[in-house]
Amino acid sequence: MTRPAVPPQQPASDEPAGYDPATVERKWQAYWQAHGSNVADLERGQRPFYALMMFPYPSAEGLHVGNLFAFTGNDIYGRFQRLQGHTVFEPLGYDAFGIHSENFAIKVGIHPAELIPRNIDNFRRQLKRAGLMVDWSHELSTTDPGYYKWTQWVFLQLYKQGLAYKKKGAVNWCPFDKTVLANEQVIAGACERCGTLVEQRFLEQWFFRITDYAGRLLANLDHLDWSESTKTAQRNWIGKSVGAEISFPVVDMTVYGASTATSGNGDAPVAPPSVRVFTTRPDTIFGATYLVLAPEHPLVDAITHDDHRVEVRDYVARSAKQDLVTRKTSKEKTGVFTGAYATNPATSRPIPIWIADYVLMEYGTGAIMAVPGHDERDHEFAREYDLPIVAVVAPEGDADAVNVTGAAYTDTDGGRLVNSQQFDGMTVAEGCAAVVAELAARHAAKPVVNYRLHDWCISRQRYWGPPIPIVYCDDCGAVPVPESELPVLLPQIDDFRPDDSGVSPLARHEEWYHTACPQCGKRARRETDVSDTFLDSAWYFLRYPSTDFDDVPFDQALTKKWLPVTSYIGGNEHAVLHLLYSRFVTMVLKDAGHIDFDEPFTRFRAHGMIVREGAKMSKSRGNVVNPDQYIEEWGADAFRTYLMFLGPFEEGGDFRDKGISGVKRFLDRLWRSVQDADRSAPADPDVRRKLHQTIRKVGEDIPKLSYNTAIAAMMEYMNAMRAGERTPRLEEVKPLVQLVSPFAPHIAEELWSMLGETKSVFDSGWPAYDASLVEDERITMAVQVNGKTRGTVQVSRTATQDEVMAAVMADAGLAKFITGTPKRVVFVPGRLVNIIV
RNA sequence: GCGAGAGUGGCGAAACUGGCAGACGCACCAGACUUAGGAUCUGGCGCCGAAAGGCUUGGGGGUUCGAGUCCCCCCUCUCGCACCA
């Protein structure tokens, strides 16, 4: 690609022009725009590098400094890769659908369709001021019909694979946002957006079978180059548990002389069912002294003894009414006895069946075998209701001494089975295997793996999202909208506020709601729920390279060339939401044959959080950093560089208003160094050496995202170059401009052109360092006596122990510590000498 | 409770596979140039001490010639999950 010459330099005059960031930045932003400097040639570009950042939600408040922190970190890495010769694609878009936008629109009384474009304009303006190397020709917004058409297409692909289904079930309902939430959006029983306590409702909802992919989502993590903390968060969220399902046959009541449990309608008694429980500790089955069913368990009615029916119904009704918060956060155990018993298949003894809300219907089988001797929750419950507690595991060699009446013994490493007949003496692991094998032979158990992960509920009874592309026909049932008829446009509704009915506002738009069945043509009704925002963002990275294509979601050739994403940078708040969903959708599209990779992000790094003067930024505290204001005052270059300097990128840092001046001073000095540079004198050997060390250091630090130390190294070099009012030489300062360019792109461009270069600095190539110069010839070696540092000696880098000792003894200040002949000398070449006397 | 991460000067922070703790920057002090400027430059700046020297990486043990770094115990903070059997 040929590049036009840069604009004419400022006319030479006696008075060198001072550094005015505003002028410089305006000039180069205009230049980049006019010359398409940031537009990646996706078809022909060599060595593709897809530098992706998490797209922002375009809030009315404008760009948050946290956004800019993340984007700058990504931009530096991207610009560096470009200097390394890659074609770098750095796209940006807007995650503009969703409850957040809608609620804000309701609050200010402006329709989101009007508000969002305004916010986006403001975001774009702010982003452009930051000097990001964004390829604006591939901008996207999830609210654009040309985008959400394909979000609906993604839904249909899942539907076709049998991975989208509708189910009536207990769901999390936010009474404030008036919509259903995914489990991931409920934090400690409250809505993550508004903090309102979440209620339980029974609604028909669309779900994605992400649980079918749990094993693969978990296994793949081992091979991903991602932040370890993010991988751990995903592992925990998926929550694999290996165990067994065990059947406990319900005892026929009449054997015990009790009245028969009836089905309630006078039918003949049915054969007593079995209660299937899930456990990760089958080894403790001899200690299972009672069973517990979740209140919603389907067997509750059938097994409940007549004498206990009233209490049981009462308890079940109460727990259904109870909001999830009370149920999930109160640790107090409550329950009720059903009057029924089941046979423990290991002991063949009857044990009582209880109902308690500490057992969750959503997990496992909704029923457990309670082992109060070895599970804290069961223990607590057993003490509350006076149920028997039996020890069946004891620390090795301590079989008689174990006491589980005071507390459950839950250690799985040191224990051996006791009171467990033929299994006595086995370790926990051996016992688990042996018990399952024994019960399996009698068809009473089977090994099972369970995951905490739930299917992804994607229905939202709201307005501001992509309509789910399904039509209901009285004859044909649920019919997917044919792909050729996408998008199902979101109709303009003036009063889009949600109500308490559990039905989306879209149902109120009669004309839209009634449609023809795509299959039989008869009158039919549209699905009125919209999909979760997380579906919009679960595939956006596939769209960026292909934004020019209307007829396909993503072009095959471009996708093959540019994906998976080379480098993804974003916040760890999305560790389990967005990142897990994106991986899932990618796997599904791979399985459907649309793409040929099953992990979307080759490398992911989570950035840290910025606080201000030690405190978290928040609107209510009024301490939010407005990027505009700082860019105005200090310039985007200083602002960017400061953000990267204030702490390690992956940990975040503390934004202190005064700190930015140090970075600004550095840029000022760089400016003057170029202005004053001695163009004839050769580089000083020592400075030259330092330069090459700095080139190496910065080049090593950037890929590690150690931006703060890279900047420190450049400052150190600056100090060396200008030490003692020294005039830097042209050769010394010129490569520094290149090193600085990823951090402070505008000033770098300006200085580069001042140095007489006609191409953009970003096409100049990263400077190479001379390996022979990066090691100093003479080094300062530490001298310790008895492990205590007493001073240093200047020696050659390759000095031997004898040479170093000679230097030490020649130094009176050091020699005085050495009395007599050293007992021992520890010599670490090139580092230190430790003399033991 | 479980999981992850972190505790280093007045402050933000550096420190490779164990090898001069505090790089770089802010703030502060002194000085130069000049004079009212949020400019530039020089020097100083962990703590105690006049100095010699001693002490110092949340606390306590340990391994080692040598520990911010490795091991054990404890304390504090941040974030995530939260009855998942």
Which pLDDT belongs to residue A83?
Answer: 97
The protein footprint on chain B, as nucleotides within 7 A of a CB, is 3-6, 11-16, 19-21, 23-27, 38-43, 54-55, 65-67, 79-85
Q: Which residues pair with A417 in a beta bridge?
A: A393
Q: Which nucleotide lies closest to A183 by the C1' atom and the CA atom?
A: B81
**Are A358 and A380 in contact, with CB atoms under 8 Å apart?**
no
- Using an 8 Å Cβ cutoff, are A517 and A479 in contact? yes
Question: Which nucleotide in the DNA or RNA is closest to residue A660, CA to C1'?
Answer: B26
Our measurement of CA A614 to C1' B7, in angstroms, reads 15
Quick one: average pLDDT of A807-830? 83
- CA A781 – CA A8 distance, rounded (Å): 51
Q: Which nucleotide is nearest to A237 (CA to C1')?
A: B81
Confidence band for A182, pLDDT divided at 50, 70 and 90 = low
A495 confidence band (pLDDT: 50, 70, 90): confident
* Å separating the CA of residue A832 from the C1' of nucleotide B68: 19
| H or E element in which residue A447 lies | strand A445-451
| Mean pLDDT value across residues A821-828 | 86
C-alpha span between A292 and A352 (Å, rounded):
9
pLDDT at A807 over 90: no
Q: Please report the pLDDT score of residue A530 as a whole number.
A: 93
pLDDT at A701 over 80: yes
Q: How confident is the model at residue A589 (pLDDT cuts 50, 70, 90)?
A: very high
| pLDDT band at residue A255 using 50, 70 and 90 as cut-offs | very low
Tens of pLDDT, residues A309-351: 999 999 988 887 665 545 555 567 889 999 999 999 999 999 9
Of A180, A466, A170, A218, nearest in space to A327 by CA: A170
- Least confident piece of the model among A171-180, A380-389, A669-678: A171-180
In this predicted structure, what is the pLDDT of residue A642? Answer: 95
One-letter amino acid identity for A624? Answer: V
Q: How far is the CA of A221 from the C1' of B85 (A)?
A: 26
d(CA A55, CA A805): 60
Determine the pLDDT at residue A519.
92
Nucleotide B14: nearest residue by CA–C1'?
A709
- The whole-number Å distance from A585's CA to B7's C1' is 40
Which residue has its C-alpha nearest to nucleotide B5's C1'?
A: A229
Q: Give the pLDDT band of residue A431 (cuts 50, 70, 90).
A: very high
Residue with CA nearest to B43's C1' atom: A724
For nucleotide B21, give the residue with the nearest CA to its C1'. Answer: A789
* CA distance to A565, A602, A706, A825, per residue, from A700 (Å): 22, 20, 9, 35
For residue A277, which nucleotide's C1' is closest to its Cα?
B85
The 10s digit of each residue's pLDDT in A529-584 is 999 999 999 999 999 999 999 999 999 999 999 999 999 999 888 888 899 999 99
Contact A544, A579 (CB under 8 A): no
Report DSSP letters for A583-626, one per residue.
HHHHHHHHHTTS-S-S-SBSEEEEE-EEEETTB---TTTT----
Residue among A122, A27, A131, A70 nearest A638 (CA) = A131
Mean pLDDT of A14-37: 88
Q: Please name the residues in contact with A436: beta carbons below 8 A apart, sequence gap of 6 or more.
A: A244, A282, A445, A446, A447
Is the pLDDT at A127 greater than 50? The verdict is: yes
Residue A776: strand, helix, or coil? coil
> How many Å does it take to go from CA A561 to C1' B81?
38
Round to a whole number and report the distance in Å from the CA of A789 to the C1' of B54.
13
- On the question of pLDDT at A777 being above 60, the answer is yes
Nearest residue to A416 via CA among A447, A436, A391 = A391
Question: At which residue do the structure tokens 């079995």 appear?
Answer: A274
What is the distance in angstroms measured between the alpha-carbon CA of A808 and the sugar C1' of B20? Answer: 15
Largest CA-CA distance found in chain A, in angstroms, rounded:
112
pLDDT tens for A615-634 read 788 777 778 888 999 999 99
DSSP at A250? B
Q: Chain-centre distance of CA A686, in angstroms?
A: 45
Most confident of A308-312, A675-679, A740-744: A740-744
**pLDDT tens digit string along A147-156?**
999 999 999 9
Element (H, E) at A179: strand A179-181
Q: If you write DSSP's letter for every residue of A621-660 in order, what string do you get?
A: TT----HHHHHHHH-HHHHHHHHHHSS-TTTEEEE-GGGH
pLDDT of A256 > 70? The answer is: no
CB atoms within 10 A of CB A511: 7
CA quadruple A198, A202, A206, A207: dihedral sign? positive
Cα gap A532→A460, rounded to integer Å: 6
Rg over alpha carbons for chain A, rounded to the nearest Å, is 34
Closest-lying nucleotide for A453 based on CA to C1': B84
How far is residue A369's CA from residue A335's CA, in Å, rounded to a whole number? 14
Closest among A705, A706, A691 to A738, alpha carbons compared: A691
Task: Express each pLDDT in A57-100 by its tens digit.
Answer: 998 888 989 899 999 999 999 999 999 999 999 999 999 998 88
Query: CA A69 → C1' B31, Å?
Result: 39
Q: Which nucleotide is nearest to A790 (CA to C1')?
A: B20
For residue A653, pLDDT beyond 90: no
pLDDT of residue A13: 42
Residue A254 has what pLDDT?
A: 52
Lowest mean pLDDT among A323-337, A486-500, A796-810: A323-337
In contact, A486 and A499? CB cutoff 8 Å = no
Which pair of tokens denotes residue A711? 């900047």
**Residue-wise DSSP of A117-168:** HHHHHHHHHHHHHTT----GGG-EETTSHHHHHHHHHHHHHHHHTT-EEEEE
Q: Is A4 exposed, middle or buried (0-12, 13-18, 19+ CB in 10 A)?
A: exposed
- Residue for token pair 């329950």: A335
And the tokens for A489? 């446009």
How many CA atoms are closer than 13 Å to the CA of A511, on its beta-carbon side?
A: 5
Q: What are phi and psi of A369, to 5 degrees?
A: -95, 125
pLDDT value for A270: 53
Per-residue CA distances from A352 to A61, A336, A617 (Å): 59, 11, 54
Q: What is the DSSP letter of A373?
A: T
Question: Can you tell me the distance from the alpha carbon of A90 to that of A79, in angstroms, rounded to the nearest whole number?
Answer: 9
A836 CA to B15 C1' in angstroms comes to 25
* Whole-number pLDDT of residue A259: 46
B29 C1' to A807 CA distance, Å: 37
Q: Which nucleotide does the CA of A330 lie closest to, via C1'?
A: B83
Q: How far is the CA of A628 from the C1' of B38 (A)?
A: 20
CA of A787 to C1' of B82 (A): 49
> How far apart are alpha carbons A556 and A596 in whole angstroms?
10
Q: What is the rounded average pLDDT of the residues A106-111?
A: 88
What the block records as the tokens of A399 is 């079989």
Nucleotide with the nearest C1' to A714 CA: B24
- How far does the CA of A778 sit from the C1' of B50, in Å? 36
Helix, strand or coil, per DSSP, at residue A312: helix
pLDDT at A790 over 70: yes
Q: How far apart are CA A261 and CA A270, in angstroms?
A: 10
Sheet strands side by side (includes A350-356): A335-343, A350-356, A290-293, A367-370
Q: DSSP states of A79-115 as a string?
A: HHHHHTT-EEE---EE---SHHHHHHHHHHT--HHHH
d(CA A795, CA A788): 20
Percentage of chain A lying above the pLDDT 70 cut: 92
Q: Tell me if A643 sits within 8 A of A662, measured CB to CB.
A: no
Average pLDDT for A649-667: 91
Q: What is the pLDDT of residue A787?
A: 84
State the nucleotide closest to A232 in CA–C1' terms. B4
What does the pLDDT average to over A791-804? 85
Closest-lying nucleotide for A282 based on CA to C1': B85
Query: What is the pLDDT at residue A195?
Result: 73
